[in-house]
């Protein structure tokens, strides 16, 4: 089975071809990601209208490149999968309209995929893990613990009630005059710093359960920065590094402790080969990664982290999730709608926060 996948829900225009033969592991034949960082750089964040226009301009080029790289044509494809939400609506629409056009033109089946399901199913594409597993999805737009029990069966055990950690890293970088995206630059500074010099809160650790909050950390950083600037008239390189290290340690501690709690809930189900999987750009952070690895090992649980190119937004994950849906008998038609919000777990109450992709799904 060969699936063409399209992704355009935030600031990456992506297309990919994924193929699976019989019971062999699925293979990524091609995965093209055209980023838009330079288009948004001057604005300090993703501008939805600019993103939508760029997606509309590039998505067909992206599809062509993905087919070319895979050495295939549309006649080799069995179905077209597309992100139908959640995300910035103009971008999602660009992808959905392109996929509908391709489906009408070729007569191929159309499959709408939830972007979060794409992330959440990635460890099955990369590491062939079985259900059920625990997923921590942690990026610039999302932060949630998901008990993944099937292609379409997700239970959210908790998530952020305000910002996503990636957003907090990006904001921290802005406040300290470091380049975007903030995650890698804050991490690089933190490596030179002392994490104990400035005290940062560990939000919501006093509250039971797996919900998290990161907006207070941002505010704490702003206050501490202003205090230091007031006292000394500016920040030295050491101050900046210590602020980054303290902030990063606080995020890592919160994620580690909440993961410990989420694992407890997951392990209560007695899964046969327990797995903790991560996805999202923040999973690239080596301190966070090592703390999560430690928590997994502490509980005798296997830790799976897909390669970074498949942790961040891409279309291979959409093609793969589409393949699972198609095999399970799901298919859409031209009534498929683009959805700015689309919670994976519709039985849990909505989370309060909103990230750079709009309200958290």
Residue 208 exposure: Cα atoms within 13 Å on the Cβ side: 2
Cis peptide bond prior to 181, omega within 30° of 0? yes
Structure tokens at 114: 């939830």
Write out the DSSP string of 299-315: TT-EEE---HHHHSS-S
Residues 157-176 that bind ligand KG4 (CB under 6 A): 166-167, 169-170
Q: Residue 211 touches which of Zn ion, ligand KG4, none (CB < 5 to 8 A by kind)?
A: none
Query: Residue 47 Cβ, how far from ligand KG4 at the closest point, in Å?
Result: 15
Strands lying side by side in the sheet with 12-19:
27-35, 12-19, 2-7, 79-85, 110-114
Query: Residue 126 Cβ, how far from ligand KG4 at the closest point, in Å?
Result: 15
Residues 268-307 that bind ligand KG4 (CB under 6 A): 280-282, 284-285
Residues 61-120 that bind ligand KG4 (CB under 6 A): none
Q: What is the largest CA-CA distance in the chain?
A: 68
Strands lying side by side in the sheet with 302-304:
153-159, 143-150, 133-138, 275-279, 302-304
CA distances, 350 to each of 319, 353, 361 (Å): 27, 9, 7
Site for ligand KG4 (CB under 6 A): which residue of 204, 312, 315, 345?
312
Residue nearest to ligand KG4 (CB): 183
Query: Residue 170 Cβ, how far from ligand KG4 at the closest point, in Å?
Result: 5
Residue whose CB is less far from Zn ion, 276 or 310: 310
Classified as helix, coil or strand, 353 is coil
Residue whose CB is less far from ligand KG4, 67 or 135: 135
Residues 115-154 that bind ligand KG4 (CB under 6 A): 139-141
Site for ligand KG4 (CB under 6 A): which residue of 35, 45, 184, 358?
184
Residues 98-117 that bind Zn ion (CB under 5 A): none
Q: State the burial class of residue 73 (Cβ atoms within 10 Å of its Cβ: 0-12, 13-18, 19+).
A: exposed
181 binds ligand KG4 (CB under 6 A): yes
Residue whose CB is less far from ligand KG4, 263 or 278: 278
Write out the DSSP string of 72-118: --GGG-SEEEEEEESS-HHHHHHHHHHHHHHHHHH---EEEEEHHHH
Residue whose CB is less far from Zn ion, 125 or 190: 125
Residue 323 exposure: Cα atoms within 13 Å on the Cβ side: 28
Residue whose CB is less far from ligand KG4, 158 or 355: 355
Site for Zn ion (CB under 5 A): which residue of 162, 170, 313, 332?
313
Q: In degrees rounded to 5, what are phi and psi of residue 257?
A: -65, -40
CA 27 to chain centre: 21
State in Å, rounded, how far the first CA of the chain is from the last one: 30
Residue whose CB is less far from ligand KG4, 247 or 266: 247
Q: Which stretch binds Zn ion (CB under 5 A): 168-176, 178-186, 252-260, 312-320?
A: 312-320
Q: Which stretch binds Zn ion (CB under 5 A): 46-54, 180-188, 203-211, 309-317?
A: 309-317
Query: Residue 272 Cβ, how far from Zn ion at the closest point, in Å?
Result: 29
CA 332 to chain centre: 24
Query: Residue 294 Cβ, how far from ligand KG4 at the closest point, in Å?
Result: 17
Q: Are 165 and 183 in contact (CB under 8 A)?
A: no
56 binds ligand KG4 (CB under 6 A): no
Query: Residue 116 Cβ, how far from ligand KG4 at the closest point, in Å?
Result: 10
Residue whose CB is less far from Zn ion, 261 or 357: 357
Residue 30 bridge partners (DSSP):
17
Q: With CB under 6 A, what is the number of residues at the site for ligand KG4?
A: 20
Q: Which stretch binds Zn ion (CB under 5 A): 89-97, 159-167, 205-213, 311-319?
A: 311-319
Site for ligand KG4 (CB under 6 A): which residue of 187, 189, 242, 332?
187
- Chain residues binding Zn ion by CB under 5 A are 313
């Amino acid at each position: 089975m060969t699936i063409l996948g399209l992704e355009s829900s935030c600031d990456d225009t992506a297309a990919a071809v994924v193929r699976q033969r019989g019971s062999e592991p699925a293979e990524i034949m091609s995965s093209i990601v055209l980023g838009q960082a330079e288009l948004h750089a001057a604005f300090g964040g993703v501008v939805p209208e600019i993103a939508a226009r760029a997606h509309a301009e590039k998505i067909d080029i992206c599809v062509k490149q993905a087919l070319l790289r895979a050495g295939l044509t549309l006649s080799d494809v069995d179905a077209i999968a597309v992100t139908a939400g959640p995300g910035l609506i103009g971008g999602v629409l660009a992808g959905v309209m392109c996929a509908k056009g391709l489906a009408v033109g070729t007569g191929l089946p159309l499959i709408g995929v939830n972007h979060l399901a794409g992330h959440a199913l990635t460890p099955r594409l990369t590491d062939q893990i079985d259900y059920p597993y625990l997923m921590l999805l942690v990026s610039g737009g999302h932060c949630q613990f998901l008990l993944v029990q099937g292609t379409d069966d997700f239970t959210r055990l908790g998530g952020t009630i305000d910002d996503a950690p990636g957003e907090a890293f990006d904001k921290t970088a802005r406040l300290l005059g470091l380049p975007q995206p903030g995650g890698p630059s804050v991490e690089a500074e933190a490596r030179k710093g002392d994490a104990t010099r400035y005290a940062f809160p560990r939000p919501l650790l006093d509250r039971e359960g797996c919900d998290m909050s990161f907006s207070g950390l941002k505010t704490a950083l702003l206050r501490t920065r202003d205090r230091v600037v007031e006292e000394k008239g500016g920040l030295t390189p050491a101050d900046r590094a210590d602020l980054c290290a303290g902030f990063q340690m606080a995020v890592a501690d919160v994620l580690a402790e909440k993961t410990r709690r989420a694992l407890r809930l997951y392990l209560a189900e007695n899964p046969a080969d327990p797995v903790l999987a991560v996805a999202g750009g923040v999973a690239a952070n080596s301190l966070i990664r090592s703390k999560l690895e430690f928590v997994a090992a502490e509980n005798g649980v296997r830790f799976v982290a897909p390669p970074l190119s498949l942790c961040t937004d891409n279309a291979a994950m959409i093609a793969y999730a589409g393949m699972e849906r198609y095999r399970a008998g799901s298919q859409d038609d031209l009534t498929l709608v683009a959805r700015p919000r689309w919670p994976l777990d519709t039985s849990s109450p909505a989370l309060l926060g909103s990230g750079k992709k709009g309200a958290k799904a």
